[in-house]
């Protein structure tokens, strides 16, 4: 699948996954795509914990009450950043951007390998969930989970949400209103 096809096919999947494990080779390949993402000053600040131990995956999944993709995930990738990111360029830190670039690379790799996922971020920030899951994964002090990606073979067909047309969001040479 070429990159444009993966971009077109990528979608947030919140349905159930099949009871079909994701082989470690595929998980490694997906996370390798994340490792190869660009990062501010090439600081490569995002770290990853790949959860494929069934009991642990289920324990994390059980924390979600309304998202079957999290509840039935076959594996989960946790993307980890510093709680208080140090500045790396003129007082600026880019850890959020670094993490987002890695996540997008992984979303495309997940799609290209025939799996589905959804970017879990907002949900993690509520009710101390990032810290609760961080403890399950043995995160050291000062580290926090910024994004979770539940992965599996989708049991249902979903599609990408409709995007606004090009002319409403993009222009050549000058911003147009």
Measured CA to CA, the distance from residue 74 to residue 85 in angstroms comes to: 31
Q: Which is nearer to ligand FMN, 126 or 141 (CB)?
A: 126
Helices (H), the chain: 3-9, 24-35, 54-61, 68-71, 95-112, 129-136, 166-169
Residues 6+ apart with CB under 8 A from 116: 11, 13, 17, 69, 110, 151, 152, 153, 154, 158
What Rg do the C-alpha atoms of the chain give, in angstroms? Answer: 17
Contact set for ligand FMN, span 157-176 (CB under 6 A)? 160-161
Is 104 a residue that touches ligand FMN (CB under 6 A)? no
CA 140 to chain CA mean position, Å:
21
Contact set for ligand FMN, span 110-139 (CB under 6 A)? 118-123
Binding residue for ligand FMN, selected from 7, 9, 11, 129, defined by CB under 6 A? 11
Contact set for ligand FMN, span 53-72 (CB under 6 A)? 67
CB atoms within 10 A of CB 2: 8
Q: Which is nearer to ligand FMN, 44 or 67 (CB)?
A: 67
Q: Which is nearer to ligand FMN, 140 or 146 (CB)?
A: 146
Binding residue for ligand FMN, selected from 9, 12, 137, 143, defined by CB under 6 A? 12
Q: Kindly tell me the sign of the dihedral angle through the C-alpha atoms of 51, 57, 59, 64.
A: positive
Q: Report in angstroms how near the CB of residue 122 gets to ligand FMN at its nearest.
A: 4
Q: Report in angstroms how near the CB of residue 14 gets to ligand FMN at its nearest.
A: 6
Q: Which is nearer to ligand FMN, 24 or 125 (CB)?
A: 125
- Contacting residues toward ligand FMN, per CB under 6 A: 11-12, 14, 67, 118-123, 160-161
């Amino acid at each position: 699948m070429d990159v444009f096809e993966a971009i077109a096919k990528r979608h947030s999947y919140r349905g159930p996954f099949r009871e079909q494990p994701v082989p470690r080779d595929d998980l490694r390949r997906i996370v390798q795509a994340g490792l190869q993402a660009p990062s501010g000053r090439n600081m490569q600040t995002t770290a990853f914990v790949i959860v494929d131990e069934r009991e642990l995956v289920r324990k994390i999944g059980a924390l979600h009450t309304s998202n079957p993709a999290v509840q039935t995930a076959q594996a989960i990738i946790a993307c980890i950043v510093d709680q208080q990111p140090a500045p790396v360029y003129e007082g600026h830190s880019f850890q959020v951007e670094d993490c987002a670039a890695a996540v997008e690379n992984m979303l495309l790799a997940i799609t290209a390998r025939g799996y589905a996922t959804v970017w879990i971020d907002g949900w993690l920030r509520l009710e101390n969930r990032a810290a609760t899951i961080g403890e399950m994964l043995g995160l050291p002090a000062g580290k926090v989970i910024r994004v979770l990606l539940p992965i599996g073979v989708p049991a249902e067909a979903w599609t990408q949400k409709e995007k606004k047309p090009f002319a409403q969001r993009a222009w050549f040479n000058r911003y147009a209103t």
